[in-house]
Amino acid sequence: MKQPSRCIAAIAPVIFVSILLNGCANHSATPDPQPKAFGAGVISVSGEKQTGGVGSPLDQPLVVQVNDAQGAAVAGALVRFTAARGVIFRPDRGLTGSDGQLTTLVTLGGISGHYQITASTLTAAGKAAVIQVDEIALGYQEMLGAKINEMHCVRCHDPESTPERVSNHDNLEPAPHAFTEGAILNAMTDANLLAMISHGGAALNKSPAMPPYGNTLTKAEVDALAAYIRAVADPPYRKQGVLYAGN
C-alpha cells in the first residue's frame, strides 16, 4: 500500500517543474503587471553595444530607465523588451524599481549579426515611448577573432585603458582606430584589411607602428580577425559589390 504514495511523491516535483518551465517559456500568456506610474520616455543606462556568442547570454545585463518629462526617474512604470530572431529576455517585462530602472538578462539568437532590441514604456497618454539598442552576436570564426584581438590588438586599438591593461592608443600618431569604427574600417577592402594585418602598416604606406602579423598568426587566425572586425563595425559592414534594396 505504501508503494503508490512514494511514487506520487517522486513524480510531483517533476510535474511542478515542468509547469513552471512551460509557464516561463510562454510569456505572452502572462498578463502585464499593472503600472503604478507612467513616464515620458525611456533611456538606456548600460549594457548596449555588447558582443557575445550566438545563442549565449551577454556578459552584462541590459539596464533601462524610465524618466518623466523633466528627466526625473519614474518608479513603478511598465517596461517591455522585444527583439527579433529568438532573443530571450529574463524578464521580458516588469515595473521599474525605486531608481526608475529595469534590468534584464539578454540571450542573443542563434544567427550571427546585429540584433536590435526595443525597450518600450507606456506614457500617461497611453502611447508607447521606445528606445532601441544594438547588441552583436558573433559566430564561431568571429569569436576566435575576438580572442585573438584581446591577445594582440586591443593594447593599441582600444582607446580605453583598464586597470589590467593600459592602452598604448593615445601614444600613437596617427592613432589606430577601434574596430567598431565602421566609418573607417568599412571603407577598407577585404584585400587591404588582410594585407594590413598580415604585412603591417609599412607595406601599405601607413604607420610602421602597425606591426605585421603574417609570421605570428596563421592564415585562419588573420581571416578570423577580419571576420571579427567586419562583425563589430558600427555602422554595420556591408559586403562590397552587393546591392541592397532601399539604399
Q: How far is the CB of 243 from ligand HEC (least distance, A)?
A: 25
* Between 93 and 157, CB nearer to ligand HEC: 157
Q: How far is the CB of 58 from ligand HEC (least distance, A)?
A: 23
* Between 74 and 143, CB nearer to ligand HEC: 143
What length is written for the chain?
Answer: 247
The separation between CA 75 and the C-alpha centre of its own chain, rounded to angstroms, equals 26
Q: How far is the CB of 54 from ligand HEC (least distance, A)?
A: 22
Q: Give residues in contact with ligand HEC (CB under 6 A).
A: 152-153, 155-157, 168, 172, 174, 176-177, 184-185, 193, 196-197, 201, 206-207, 209-211, 213, 225
Q: What residues pair up with 197 in beta bridges, in sequence order?
A: none
Give CA–CA dist 163/172, Å, rounded.
Answer: 20
DSSP letter, residue 127: P
| Pairing mode of beta strands 101-107, 88-90 | antiparallel
Q: Is 131 helix (H, G, I), strand (E, B) or coil?
A: strand
Q: How far is the CB of 161 from ligand HEC (least distance, A)?
A: 14
Q: How far is the CB of 182 from ligand HEC (least distance, A)?
A: 11
Q: How far is the CB of 154 from ligand HEC (least distance, A)?
A: 8
Q: Within the chain, where are the H helices?
A: 2-25, 140-148, 154-157, 182-185, 190-199, 219-232
* Between 22 and 218, CB nearer to ligand HEC: 218
* Between 116 and 216, CB nearer to ligand HEC: 216
* Between 66 and 221, CB nearer to ligand HEC: 221
CB burial string 11-34: b at 16+ within 10 A, e below: eeeeeeeeeeeeeeeeeeeeeeee
Q: How far is the CB of 52 from ligand HEC (least distance, A)?
A: 20
Per DSSP (E only), the strands in 84-183 are: 88-90, 93-95, 101-107, 113-122, 128-138
| Cα–Cα separations (whole angstroms), residue 24 to 89, 108, 228 | 11, 17, 34
* Between 114 and 155, CB nearer to ligand HEC: 155
Give CA–CA dist 62/88, Å, rounded.
Answer: 12
* Between 95 and 209, CB nearer to ligand HEC: 209
